[in-house]
């Protein structure tokens, strides 16, 4: 395990139009393709489920009841979730789109249908967008939410507001945060903290908007949402300055040695958890899109293996289930999927309208 020293948390820096990661970070370009293509052809890994998992369905009637513990999560797959913390509802990085890609007909496609329509969501106090990558910010999803929730507050990273405005979000409903800046939503403070990643919705505009992880702290509970990040010494500082956390959400999917600077993977997530102060870990950024070279179950299988070895407390719910936060390991990913072909049809149409 790499021993890392304490890092200072500060506002983001730019060179020209481009934001800098908190430490030197390599982000692959077109040349990466020549390293990836042979492995795509030669490595026989099941990167997409043979049968669509599910179907999963959110019981929206549960939202009529207040969370008993004050901390409740509905995970929709990947990094999309509804977080209920101390009476405040925050919709995090919602992606109901069929593909995590700029085109509707090509790119990583959902493994399973959305567990509920966007119109079925309960009233939310804020929508949090960590950065502008397609698996965290879906055009169709934002457009639909802008229609359904014209008064909701959107909290995001510097520069991402322009993307949201382009998709129909009113400018006066958007709050952009630099690293270490905070926004108040009811009794919950949302603080942007640095992450080792990058941004851009094309190769031509990389790093022109900011990316971040977030600390959400209410009167009773605190949550760390790691969004996307590679390993860096700042995890220790975040834990010291903003912890302890009742729930720590860390990305475990879309990892590979070729891009270890920008994604943790399961082993990195466990190391980051320890640096952040330990506690209950929620694996995110897996189970919905094929974004890497590993098998689709590999991230969670490795997390469970590490959990057994190290006695980790893990909160890993079934997609769409409204769950009080506690130690929980759903085995939904071991199932082969529905036996009813009619229920296995892919998600289609406009996000949230079905």
Rounded distance between C-alpha atoms, residue 66 and residue 92, angstroms: 19
- Kindly state the DSSP code that residue 183 receives in the 8-state scheme: E
Which pair of tokens denotes residue 187? 């009794």
User: What pTM value is reported for the model?
Assistant: 0.92
Residues 126/127/130/136 CA torsion (nearest 10 deg): 160
228: exposed, middle or buried (C-beta count within 10 Å: 0-12, 13-18, 19+)? buried
The separation between CA 57 and the C-alpha centre of its own chain, rounded to angstroms, equals 20
Domains of the chain: 68-336 (3.60.15.10)
- Strand pairing of 247-251 and 222-225? parallel
Nearest residue to 84 via CA among 287, 289, 221:
221
Rounded distance between C-alpha atoms, residue 49 and residue 63, angstroms: 30
Rounded distance between C-alpha atoms, residue 154 and residue 176, angstroms: 8
Please report, in tens digits, the pLDDT of each residue of the chain (354 residues total).
444 456 889 999 999 999 999 999 988 666 666 555 666 666 678 889 999 999 999 999 999 999 999 999 999 999 999 999 999 999 999 999 999 999 888 999 999 999 999 999 999 999 999 999 999 999 999 999 999 999 999 999 999 999 999 999 999 999 999 999 999 999 999 999 999 999 999 888 999 999 999 999 999 999 999 999 999 999 999 999 999 999 999 999 988 878 689 899 999 999 999 999 999 999 999 999 999 888 999 999 999 999 999 999 999 999 999 999 999 999 999 975 443 333 333 434 446 655
Query: Helix 234-242 to helix 265-276 angle, to the nearest 10 degrees?
Result: 40
Residues 177 and 130: beta-carbon distance below 8 Å: no
Q: CA angle, 245 as apex, 57 and 267 as ends, to 5°?
A: 75
- Please enumerate in sequence order all residues whose Cβ is within 8 A of that of 98, keeping only pairs 6 or more positions apart, or say none: 104, 109, 110, 140, 346, 347, 348, 351
Provide the greatest CA pair distance for the chain: 55
């Amino acid at each position: 395990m790499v021993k890392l020293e304490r890092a200072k948390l500060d506002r983001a820096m730019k060179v020209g139009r481009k934001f800098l990661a908190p430490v030197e970070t390599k982000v692959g370009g077109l040349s990466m393709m020549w390293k990836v293509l042979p492995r795509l052809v030669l490595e026989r890994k099941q990167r997409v489920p043979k049968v669509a998992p599910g179907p999963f369905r959110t019981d929206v009637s549960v939202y009529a009841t207040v969370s008993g513990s004050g901390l409740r999560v509905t995970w929709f797959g990947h990094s999309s979730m509804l977080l209920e913390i101390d009476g405040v509802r925050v919709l995090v990085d919602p992606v109901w789109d069929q593909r995590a890609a700029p085109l509707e007909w090509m790119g990583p496609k959902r493994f399973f249908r959305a567990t509920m329509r966007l119109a079925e969501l309960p009233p939310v106090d804020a929508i949090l967008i960590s950065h502008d990558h397609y698996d965290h910010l879906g055009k169709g999803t934002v457009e639909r939410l802008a229609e359904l929730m014209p008064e909701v507050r959107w909290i995001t990273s510097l520069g991402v507001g322009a993307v949201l405005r382009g998709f129909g979000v009113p400018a006066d409903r958007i709050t952009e945060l630099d690293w270490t800046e905070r926004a108040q939503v009811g009794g919950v403070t949302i603080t942007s903290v640095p992450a080792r990643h990058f941004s851009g919705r094309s190769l031509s505009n990389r790093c022109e908007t900011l990316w971040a992880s977030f600390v959400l702290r209410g009167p009773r509970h605190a949550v760390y949402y790691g969004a996307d990040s590679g390993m860096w010494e700042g995890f220790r500082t975040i834990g010291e300055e903003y912890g302890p956390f009742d729930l720590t959400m860390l990305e475990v999917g879309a990892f590979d040695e070729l891009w270890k600077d920008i994604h943790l993977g399961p082993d990195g997530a466990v190391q980051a958890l320890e640096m952040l102060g330990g506690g209950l870990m929620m694996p995110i950024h897996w189970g919905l899109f094929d974004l890497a070279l590993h098998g689709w179950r590999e991230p969670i299988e490795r997390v469970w293996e590490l959990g057994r070895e190290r006695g980790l407390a893990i909160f890993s719910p079934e997609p769409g289930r409204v769950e009080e936060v506690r130690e929980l390991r759903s085995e939904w990913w071991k199932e082969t999927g529905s036996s009813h072909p009619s229920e296995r049809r892919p998600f289609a149409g406009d996000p949230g309208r079905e």
